[in-house]
A and B are shown apart, each in its own frame.
Chain A
Amino acid sequence: MTCYEHTFIAKSDLTESKNEKLIEKYENIITKNQGKIIKTENWGLKNLSHKIKSNKKGFYFHIKFEGVGKTVEELEKEENIDETLFRFLTIKVKKHQLETNSIEKTSKK
């Protein structure tokens, strides 16, 4: 099993209940394909440093998981189709850092 970190950005016109559904959906895909979720983080709504596909803001979600190559393949295949997401990134890490939230959640105004 290899350790992976996955981040994806969703469009800013989502509601809270839809957010939770999004995370659940991708968690299910990971667990179905021989993966194991270790931690999920919600970084909240953030301003993008530059425009991406005419979006200025986005909801950030971060998943730390263990899995095999097929897990990542299926996950990214699903995300490519999804229209509510516009950017994602998967990287391999040697070891998970679990002490603190890497990026604090931005509070709502």
Chain B
Amino acid sequence: MPIRKDRRNKKKGKGSKYSKLSLFQKPGVKFFKPCPLSGKNAPIVDYKNIKLLKKYISESGRILPSRITSVSQGKQRELSSAIKRARLLALI
């Protein structure tokens, strides 16, 4: 029984805070960045908020992937629809 408990506590995969990026990385170094758009005091994602949206598009106007910006899955979906609305109104 004690062996099973140990296994359960170990985290594996992408969601883990200590997931490794390379083999030669020191153990215990954090690579996890929290989502900047969720949590308390987070800005509201809206097609009128151009200042915020401009952070998440590249110079040529393409939407940046969440693996670079570390935006959560749900917020990325909101963000992409907001950017497309702003494009339609020629705000971005």
Residues of A within 8 A of B44 (CB): 97
Checking B49, B89, B92 against A9 with a beta-carbon cut-off of 8 angstroms, the contacting residue is: B89
Number of chain B residues whose Cβ lies closer than 8 Å to a Cβ of chain A: 13
Taken together as a complex, chains A and B put the C-alpha atoms of A7 and B29 apart, in Å, by: 48
Checking B46, B48, B49, B90 against A87 with a beta-carbon cut-off of 8 angstroms, the contacting residue is: B90
Interface size bracket, A side: 10 to 19
Q: How far is the CB of B12 from chain A (nearest CB, A)?
A: 37
Q: How far is the CB of B41 from chain A (nearest CB, A)?
A: 16
Taken together as a complex, chains A and B put the C-alpha atoms of A43 and B50 apart, in Å, by: 14
Taken together as a complex, chains A and B put the C-alpha atoms of A7 and B90 apart, in Å, by: 12
Query: What are 12 pairs between A and B in contact, CB < 8 Å?
Result: A7-B89, A9-B90, A49-B91, A50-B90, A60-B89, A87-B88, A87-B89, A89-B89, A91-B47, A97-B46, A102-B48, A102-B49
Question: What residues make up the interface of B, taking CB atoms closer than 8 Å to A?
Answer: 44, 46-50, 85, 87-92
The 10 closest A-B pairs by CB, nearest first: A48-B90, A102-B48, A49-B90, A49-B92, A103-B48, A50-B90, A89-B89, A89-B88, A52-B90, A7-B89
Question: What residues make up the interface of A, taking CB atoms closer than 8 Å to B?
Answer: 7, 9, 48-50, 52, 58, 60, 87, 89, 91, 97, 102-103
